Chains A and B, each alone.
Chain A
């Protein structure tokens, strides 16, 4: 996986887009290994599929194929180092990966696993949490998708190519 990232520094945008798609696919496999079947399914369809297609469409539109190589930036490095250090610092008190007694599994979640059959009657706990316990979040999420649809329609909808004079700075 780390190798996928190294290639991201390539100048070819087409390659970069494809690799980002591959990265999503790999991520989907990782999700699958970690038992997140729904997430894996979605990541494969959305991350690897939709996002990559949109990127290719953008590249086709703009006709841009190459980019300047990533310039070295002190600010970028500094931000990344500080943020990365904070996260590594955080890992030292983290419960080990897969630890069944981690606090995350002790609170809130047990009810979804133990009671949801009786309360909702749907075997897929992800579905019951998604659509019922946290249905409001999902409504927000549909709103986000809707917003993106409206936004893209507003930006790229019919009439876009109509000559619009570049308004001068006022």
Chain B
């Protein structure tokens, strides 16, 4: 089954990635921007893991009864990237909470108007 997938599964990943990126760029609501960012990064993770997959391989936990494993290096990189991603999310959300404290809104347009009034 895997042979037929070819590069098709990369295309799905790209579509997901671009959806996320579009939300980040065009959405004016800050919470949604963060959600979009998560989506964008999440699909990059899938891209990495996809390239590590070996047809017929198993998880890279070495044991004598298997000979073919998936590539562990992308896994390690993505473990790091996931943690980095959640750190960014936490910081972004903390900023949103503070912005809401000071402005009373999390919509970029409303904030721009408030800034202009000052």
Please report the C-alpha to C-alpha distance between residue A45 and residue B61 in the assembled complex, in whole angstroms.
Answer: 20
On whether the beta carbons of A67 and B107 are closer than 8 Å, the reply is yes
On whether the beta carbons of B76 and A144 are closer than 8 Å, the reply is no
Interface size class of A (residues with CB under 8 A): 35 or more
B53 to chain A, nearest CB (A): 4
Q: Do A125 and B69 contact each other (CB < 8 Å), given the known contacts A20-B35, A39-B49, A151-B94?
A: yes
Task: Mark out the residues of chain B between 86 and 118 whose CB falls within 8 Å of any chain A CB in the assembled complex.
Answer: 86-91, 93-98, 100-102, 105-107, 109, 118
- A-B interface contact total, Cβ < 8 Å: 281
Cβ-closest 9 pairs across A and B: A67-B29, A98-B55, A148-B87, A73-B26, A76-B26, A76-B25, A35-B70, A125-B60, A62-B100
A sample of 23 inter-chain contacts (CB < 8 A) reads A2-B12, A5-B19, A8-B35, A13-B32, A31-B45, A34-B50, A39-B78, A77-B26, A83-B21, A91-B10, A92-B7, A96-B7, A98-B53, A109-B71, A112-B72, A112-B73, A113-B60, A113-B69, A113-B72, A123-B61, A124-B60, A144-B87, A151-B90
On whether the beta carbons of A83 and B62 are closer than 8 Å, the reply is no
Q: Do A24 and B42 contact each other (CB < 8 Å), given the known contacts A80-B21, A169-B118?
A: yes
A75 to B, closest residue via Cβ: B25
Task: Mark out the residues of chain B between 1 and 54 whose CB falls within 8 Å of any chain A CB in the assembled complex.
Answer: 2-3, 5-12, 14-23, 25-29, 31-32, 34-36, 38-39, 42, 45-46, 49-54
On whether the beta carbons of A80 and B22 are closer than 8 Å, the reply is yes
Please report the C-alpha to C-alpha distance between residue A23 and residue B23 in the assembled complex, in whole angstroms.
Answer: 15
On whether the beta carbons of A79 and B95 are closer than 8 Å, the reply is no
On whether the beta carbons of B70 and A34 are closer than 8 Å, the reply is yes
Number of interface residues of B (CB under 8 A): 87
B50 to chain A, nearest CB (A): 6
Secondary structure class of chain A's binding surface, majority of residues: helix
> Given A27-B45, A31-B46, A155-B94, 14 more contacts at CB 8 Å?
A8-B19, A8-B36, A20-B39, A34-B50, A35-B59, A54-B90, A70-B26, A77-B22, A98-B3, A99-B55, A109-B71, A137-B80, A138-B80, A160-B98
Chain B neighbourhood of A97, CB < 8 A: 2, 5-10, 50, 53
A105 to chain B, nearest CB (A): 5
Please report the C-alpha to C-alpha distance between residue A99 and residue B6 in the assembled complex, in whole angstroms.
Answer: 9
Chain B neighbourhood of A108, CB < 8 A: 73
Q: Do A47 and B60 contact each other (CB < 8 Å), given the known contacts A67-B29, A104-B51, A125-B72?
A: no
